Amino acid sequence: MIEIKYGDGALSGNAGVLKHLQDIDALVSNGDKYKALLETMGMQFNQMDELGLLNFNRVANWTKIKLDANDKPEVIFVLANHNPRSSKLNKILNDSEIDAYDHSPNFDLRFYVACFAGYALHSDCMFTLSQFRGLLKNKNAEPVVSLDGYSASLHSHQ
């Protein structure tokens, strides 16, 4: 699941980061609703594929997509037009209520950080909450991620 927050004004309030995490947690926790959502998503994806609206590299034995409610989903936040000089994002991410979602049993929380030009959501550009907090601590930092996509380090511009 991907949530895009545009601008620092979208980070808090009725449609902010915490509210979305609470809503997503409630949805994934409700087995029947979550399963119905995945079935709808799978049908829509397969229908778009049948209509020729999707272009991707298929494996030789490609079959229709089937999403499994037993698989732990990723919840990815894409933060667009964030002002890096603002302390608002740091304040929100360091709220104790957000900590409950860092190791959620219902989903893996990730924050997308654009390391290279382009719009592809590569796993190497995904950060856990603690990795993303570390990135925000150093405002002059440039993210460098390992090829395994799970570890991140920072290099300061001096």
pLDDT in tens, 60-101: 888 889 999 999 999 999 988 887 778 899 999 999 999 999
Tell me if 80 is assigned to some domain. yes
- Number of compact structural domains in the chain: 1
* pTM, two decimal places: 0.72
Tell me if 12 is assigned to some domain. yes
Each residue's pLDDT tens digit, 123-151? 767 889 988 888 887 655 555 544 444 44
Tell me if 144 is assigned to some domain. no
Instruction: Specify the DSSP class assigned to residue 149.
Output: S
Tell me if 145 is assigned to some domain. no
| 8, 89 Cβ separation under 8 angstroms | yes
Q: How far is Cα 28 from Cα 107, in angstroms, rounded to an integer?
A: 8
What's the domain range around 83? 2-129
